[in-house]
Structure 1
Amino acid sequence: MRKFLLMSCVAATALLANGAAFANDGLIALSKDPKQWALPTGDYANRRYSELSQITSENVKTLVPVWSFSTGVLRGHEGAPLVIGNVMYLSTPFPNIVYALDLNNDGKILWKYEPKQDPNVIPVMCCDTVTRGVAYADGKIFLYQADTTLVALNAATGAHIWSTKNGDPAKGETGTSAPQVVKDKVLVGISGGEFGVRGSLTAYDIKTGKKVWRGYSMGPDSDTLIDPEKTTHLGKPVGKDSGINTWQGDQWKIGGGTTWGWYSYDPDLNLVYYGSGNPSTWNPKQRPGDNRWSMAIWARDADTGVAKWIYQMTPHDEWDYDGINEMILVGQEARKVLVHFDRNGFGYTLDRVSGELLVAEKFDPAVNWATKVDMDKNSKTYGRPLVVPAFSTEHNGEDVNSQGIMPAALGVKDQQPAAYSPLTGLFYIPANHVAMDYEPFRVSYTAGQPYIGATLSMYPPKGDSHMGNFTAWDAKTGKIVWQNKEQFSVWAGAVATAGNVVFYGTLEGYLKAVNATTGEELYKFKTPSGIIGNVITYEHAGKQFVAVLSGVGGWAGIGLAAGLTNPTAGLGAVGGYSSLANYTALGGQLTVFALPEQ
C-alpha cells in the first residue's frame, strides 16, 4: 500500500524542485494540466475553466453517475475536491475530516485525517459549519480547520507534519476559507465579521508553518501593510493611516472586513488578489464614515504582503454586501483585467496592474439600492455607488425598517464562484435573486458574542417567484447575454469546459449542464442532497469525469442544516428558504459522473 501511495503522487511531485519557487512552479504546471484539479480555484486566475472536451454539448445528455462516496458528515458541503495524479482529496464540514481517495479503485479510502476540535467553535460559525476545501503543494495537503488551525499533512500518508493557529474562536475568529499556496507560502484568511473580528490575510511558510506576513483590512499602515504614498485607490495615493481615519475612535479594532473568500494570483505581476467583507456592526448608524478598508478589492505583493492598490466597492456598507467574492483574472485585448461579481449586485472590471475601474454594471436588473456606480473621473463621487435614499437602512440618523431592498444581504452572488470560458468570452454566474427587509438596532460588542445589530427578512423580489439565476455575462460591455431562472438561489460554483458545456448545481440537489453559448439546459441529475459545492472536472485513465459534493447548508440552507424554524433566524435566510425542505434533506456525498462505456 505504501508503495502505491507514493507512486500515486509521482505525477505531481515530479513537477516540483527545491527552492523558493518550488511549490509555485509545480502548481502552475499542475493547474495547466486539465487532467488534474490542483487548486481550490481551479487555476491561479480563478477561471474555473477546463480544456477537457470528451464531454460535449452534444453528448452530455448521456452522462451517468459512475461512483459516489459518503463523507459521513451532515451540514453544508461547500468547496470542492482536489485531484492530484491518481488521488482525490476532499474535506468535510466540522469536524473537517480529510479523505484521500484512490481514483484507481472508485474512491477507496487511502487515508483519513480527523482533527480533534472543541465543538464550542460551532456556535461562533456565522453561516453553517462549512469549509471550502484543502490545498496541495510540496507533497503536502493543507487543511484550514474551523478553529483556525492550519495543518500540513503528508499527501501520501496523511501524517501530520506541522500546524499553527491563525486566530482565536473565543473572540469569534473561525476558519472557513480554502487555503491557497503561492510560491513558498500558504495563504489563509479569517472569518467572523458578525462577531466584530478584524479581517486579515496571512502568509505562512509551507515548510515550517512560520508566519511570514499578515495584512489587516483596517488599522494603522503598519497593520494593513499599506504604503501611504505608493498604495493607490482609483489611481491616487491613499495617504497616511487610511485604514483608521474613516472610523470613529477605535472602532476599527472590531471593524470586520473579514477575508473568507477566494485568493487569485498573477505570477507575472507577483500580486495576490482578494476581497474584504462587511464592516462590523451591521447597524450603520453605530459606525459613521466610509469604514475603510472593508468591502474592498486588494492587490498585495505575494512576497511581502504590501498593498499595491485597493478599491472599495461599497463605502459605509448598510446592507452586509460582503466583498469577498472571487477575482477572475483574464486578458481583455492587450490589457490584464480582473473581473469581480460583488454581493452588491454590480459586476466590476478593473485593470489589475493599476486598479483602474473600467466597468461597473448591474448583473441583475432588479438591483435597486443604488442607481449606478459613478464612472465620471472628474466627479467627487467617482467610483462610488449612488445610493437610493429609500433603500438606505438609516434615515435622518434614525434606524428604520427599510423594505424591498434588492439584493438581500446574501447578495446577487455570495461566495459561490463563477466560471469563465475563453471559447465564448463569457462569464457564468451562479446567482441569488432575493430581496429583503432590513431593520437595524443598537448592539454592544462583547468578544466572542454576535455583533450584528439588524433583523432581516428575505423573499423573492416583487413580482417574481424565483430566487435564483444562472447568468452569462459579457465583462467588456457589462451586459447580460443570457439568463436561466432557478427556483432557489444557485449556491454552487460553476465550471466551464472546452466541450462548450457549463456545469453547476442547485439547492434542490440537481447537477445541471447547459450549452455555454446559448444557455440551453442539456442535462440534469438529482443528487441525494442540495448542492452548495463547486463542480470540478478531471481526467483519469483517459476518461473525463465530473464531480460535485452535495450536502445542503451554507447561509441559504442554514434552516435545514441547523434545524432552525424562526423566519428571521439565520440572519433572515430561514424564512426565505423555508420551502427548500420540501425538495431536499441533509446529506454529505460526493457524486462522480462520466459518459457511459461504448
Structure 2
Amino acid sequence: MKKTGLWAALSLVVAWALPAHANDELQKMIQDPNQWVIQTGDYANTRYSKLDQINASNVGKLTPTWTFSTGVLRGHEGSPLVIGDVMYVHTPFPNIVYALDLNDDGRIIWKYEPRQDPSVIPVMCCDTVNRGLAYADGMVFLHQADTTLVALDAKTGKVAWTVVNGDPKKGETNTATVLPVKDKLLVGISGGEYGVRCHVTAYDIKTGKRIWRAYSTGPDSELLIDPEKTTELGKPIGKDSSLKTWQGDQWQTGGGCTWGWYSYDPQQNLVYYGTGNPSTWNPKQRPGDNKWSMTIFARDPDTGMAKWVYQMTPHDEWDYDGVNEMMLVDQEIQGQQRPLLVHFDRNGFGYTLDRATGELLVAEKYDPAVNWASKVDMDKNSKTYGRPIVDAKYSTEQNGEDVNTKGICPAALGTKDQQPASFSPKTGLFYVPTNHVCMDYEPFRVSYTPGQPYVGATLSMYAAPGGNGNMGNFIAWDAREGKIVWSLPERFSVWSGALATAGDIVFYGTLEGYLKAVDAKTGKELYKFKTPSGIIGNVMTYTHKGKQYVAVLSGVGGWAGIGLAAGLTDPNAGLGAVGGYAALNDYTALGGQLTVFAIP
C-alpha cells in the first residue's frame, strides 16, 4: 500500500517520560531500557525500546543463543519479564512461573506451579492463555486462570499473599495480566461468553486488600460514575446511563469484560482500558445501546471514579470487544500538540482521542475490507456524532434470528484482537498486527444459566476479499491522519505483539512460527527465523552484561490457533475459528518454548 516519507517537522514526546509520583521503584525500572519490567514495555503501552545495538544494518545476523521449554502445550501469549539478572517466564494453564538465571544460561532459580481445578479449562474462552506477569515492590504478580491473584517474592518465589477475584463456577476466569499503579494492582475479569457482569478491581499491592471495584454495567454507584461529571464526547452522561440502555435487569448478565490491556498516565492521573462485548451475542435479545460494553474508560486509579467514557460500538451485533490496548503518546495533530490516546479496535476502526478530555479526533478503517459500517460520524453537530454508520446488509439483528448474515468484515476476532501494537517516536508511526478475516454470523435464541455458555450465535470465518487468500497484514499506521503508510501481507493473522526499537526496526511473529524483523520506515523484511511453534507471544528485548537480546515465546494457540491447541476439528468450533484456520496444521504444531536471540 501507499508509502510516505518522514514528516519534516515532527514534534513528538513519548508518554512514558513520566514524573516520579507513579510507583517510584517501578517507574525508575521502566525508564531503564536494559530491563523489561512491564508487559507493555511502559505505562503508555508503546512497546518501544531505546536499545539500538541490534539495528537495521545488522539485524540480518541475528542468531538464537539459548532456548527454554515451558513444559506446557497450549497457546503462549504475553512475554517474559527481565528484572536485573533474572528472567521471569509464565505459561498458559496451569500458569507455571519460572525464575531463570541469566548468568547461568537460564538455570531455574525457582518454580511456582499453582494447584488449580482443571474444571476451569472448559469455561475459558478461546484457549487457556495468560498474557503475563507483573512486577512491583519486589514481588511478581500472577493472575491465574481461576481468578486467584498471587503475589510472589521475586527472589524466592514464596507466596506473599493471595486473593480470589472471581468465581469460575459462574463463568468468571482470567487470561490477562495486571497493572501495578502506585500502591495498587489493577485487575480485570473474563467471562462475557457466560453472561458474567464484568468489572475492574484495585487491590493493595502489599496486602491484597480490595480497595475499589468498578463494574461495566449497572447503577452509577457500582460503575463508579458521577452522572454530572463523567462525560462522553464532552457532555455529561447523565443519571442511570447504563440502566437506561438495557431491557429490564439484563445488565446483570451484560458482559462488558475487562480482559485486555491497561495503560496509565501519571500526569493526568488516569488509567485507560476497554470493555468487551455485551452478553448474549444474539443482539435481538438485548435491545438498546448496552452501555457501557464496548467502551473506553478513563478512571482515577486512586478512587476508581470515571472521568470520561466513549462507546465505540453501541449495541454490538458482531462480538467486537473493545479491550485492545490504549496507547498514549503526545503528538501534534490538527496544528496543536495534544496528549493522545490511540486505539485499534476489534471493530476495524483506528481511533485517536485526546486522552485528557475524551474528545474524538480520528476514526478511520485500518483494513480496507471493513464493511459492517461505512464510517464513524465525525460531525459534532450530528445526533449520531461518534457512532458508527452501520450497513444494514451486515446487521445481524436487522437480518434476524436464525438468519445467516454472510460476508461480514471483520470477523468476530476483529481486525485486531488483543495482540498489542507498538509505536516508534523516531518515525511517529504505529505498527499494528492485524487480521484480514471475514465471517458468516447466525444468531439464535439462548437462555441464561450461571456457568453455562451464553453465546447465542454460530460463526464461520475465512480470509477477507482482496488479499490473495492472506488472512493477515502487518501495517504501519499514521494515527494523526488515520492512514495506512505501508502494509505487509501474511498467510495467517498476525497474532503476536509487535516491538519497535531505536535501531529502526520492528519485530513481530507469525502463526507459522517465524520471528520477523522489518525496517521501521519502509516495512522491508530484514530478518526471519522459524521457531518450533506458531508465535502468539509478544516480542521483547533487554540487555545482559552489555549485550542486547531479543526474546519471544512460541506456542501456537489463542483464538486463531484454538483448533490446533485444543484438538478441535468441527469447522464451527472455537466460535467459528477452527474452520478458518484449518490450514495452520500444515505449517506448525503445538509447542511451548522461549527462544532468545542475539548477534554473535
Write out per-residue CA displacement over residues 116-172 of structure 1, whole angstroms, 9 at most, x where no aligned residue.
Answer: 000000010011000000000010000000000000000000001100000000000
Paired residue for 1:498? 502
Write out per-residue CA displacement over residues 225-269 of structure 1, whole angstroms, 9 at most, x where no aligned residue.
Answer: 000000001111011121211000000000000000000000111
* Distance in 1 of aligned mates of 2:530 and 2:198: 38
Amino acid at match of 2:248: G
Write out per-residue CA displacement over residues 564-585 of structure 1, whole angstroms, 9 at most, x where no aligned residue.
Answer: 0000000000000000010000
Amino acid at match of 2:211: V
* Distance in 2 of aligned mates of 1:384 and 1:34: 40
Unaligned runs of 5+ in 1: 1-20
Write out per-residue CA displacement over residues 61-96 of structure 1, whole angstroms, 9 at most, x where no aligned residue.
Answer: 000000000000110000011111001111100000
Paired residue for 1:380? 383
Paired residue for 1:76? 75
Tell me if structure 2 keeps the 8 A contact 1:220–1:241.
Answer: yes
Amino acid at match of 2:354: D
Paired residue for 1:6? none
Tell me if structure 2 keeps the 8 A contact 1:23–1:181.
Answer: no
TM-aligned CA deviation for residue 395 of structure 1: 2.2
* Distance in 2 of aligned mates of 1:561 and 1:68: 21
Matches within 5 A, 1:167-566: 167-333=166-332, 334-395=337-398, 398-464=401-467, 465-566=469-570
Q: Look up the SS of the partner of 1:409 in the other structure.
A: coil
Tell me if structure 2 keeps the 8 A contact 1:262–1:274.
Answer: yes
Write out per-residue CA displacement over residues 414-473 of structure 1, whole angstroms, 9 at most, x where no aligned residue.
Answer: 000000000000000000000000000000000001000000000011343000000000
Write out per-residue CA displacement over residues 191-234 of structure 1, whole angstroms, 9 at most, x where no aligned residue.
Answer: 01000111111000001000001111011011100000000011
Q: Look up the SS of the partner of 1:366 in the other structure.
A: coil
* Distance in 2 of aligned mates of 1:184 and 1:490: 35
Write out per-residue CA displacement over residues 253-305 of structure 1, whole angstroms, 9 at most, x where no aligned residue.
Answer: 00000000000000111100000000000000000000000000000001000
Q: Look up the SS of the partner of 1:394 in the other structure.
A: helix
* Distance in 1 of aligned mates of 2:93 and 2:273: 24
Tell me if structure 2 keeps the 8 A contact 1:393–1:399.
Answer: no
* Distance in 2 of aligned mates of 1:594 and 1:217: 44
Please give the TM-score of this superposition, normalised by the length of structure 2.
0.95
Q: 1:367 to 1:305 in 2, by over 3 A?
A: same
Paired residue for 2:581? 577
Amino acid at match of 1:247: W
Q: How many residues align?
A: 576
Q: 1:162 to 1:23 in 2, by over 3 A?
A: farther
Amino acid at match of 1:576: G
Q: Higher mean Cα deviation, 162-171 or 461-470?
A: 461-470
Paired residue for 1:5? none
Write out per-residue CA displacement over residues 367-400 of structure 1, whole angstroms, 9 at most, x where no aligned residue.
Answer: 0000000000000100000000000002265542
* Distance in 2 of aligned mates of 1:163 and 1:91: 17
* Distance in 2 of aligned mates of 1:35 and 1:433: 35
Write out per-residue CA displacement over residues 28-49 of structure 1, whole angstroms, 9 at most, x where no aligned residue.
Answer: 1111110011111110000000
Paired residue for 1:89? 88
Amino acid at match of 1:473: W
Paired residue for 1:144? 143
Paired residue for 1:111? 110
Q: Look up the SS of the partner of 2:418 in the other structure.
A: coil
Paired residue for 2:3? none
Q: 1:396 to 1:557 in 2, by over 3 A?
A: closer
Q: Look up the SS of the partner of 1:344 in the other structure.
A: coil
* Distance in 1 of aligned mates of 2:115 and 2:57: 47
Q: Look up the SS of the partner of 1:332 in the other structure.
A: strand
Amino acid at match of 2:465: K
* Distance in 1 of aligned mates of 2:30 and 2:87: 15
* Distance in 2 of aligned mates of 1:140 and 1:23: 17
Tell me if structure 1 keeps the 8 A contact 2:400–2:443.
Answer: no
Q: Look up the SS of the partner of 1:395 in the other structure.
A: helix
Paired residue for 1:7? none
| Paired-residue identity, % | 76
Matches within 5 A, 1:48-67: 48-67=47-66
Q: Look up the SS of the partner of 1:249 in the other structure.
A: coil
Write out per-residue CA displacement over residues 307-365 of structure 1, whole angstroms, 9 at most, x where no aligned residue.
Answer: 00000000000000000000000001221010000000000000000000000000001
Unaligned runs of 5+ in 2: 1-19
The Cα RMSD (Å) is 0.9
Amino acid at match of 2:208: G
Amino acid at match of 1:177: A
